Amino acid sequence: MLNLEEDCFINCPYCLESIKVRIDLTGGQNQSLTYDCEVCCRPITLQIEIYADGNINIVTEKES
């Protein structure tokens, strides 16, 4: 059974806290979304790459 979404941990680029984000695996191999940090509430831009083998690479950026 395939997961439709997966929880991943990222580090906030502002406060460096580890926060959990839910990735929608049905949204395509390359996704970008903005997620508000649960700790400092600042917007984080996520560049998400989902590989065919199920691995997920997430790059976090401060919103410009």
Query: Quick one: tokens of 34?
Result: 């903005």
| Residue 13 C-beta: closest distance to Zn ion, Å | 8
Distance in angstroms (rounded) separating the CA atoms of residues 63 and 50: 21
- Binding to Zn ion by CB under 5 A, coded x per residue (else -) over 2-41, reads ----------x-xx---------------------x-xx-
Whose Cβ is closer to Zn ion: residue 29's or residue 34's?
A: 34
First-residue to last-residue Cα distance in the chain: 38
Q: How far is the CB of 47 from Zn ion (least distance, A)?
A: 17
Structure tokens at 51: 């590989």
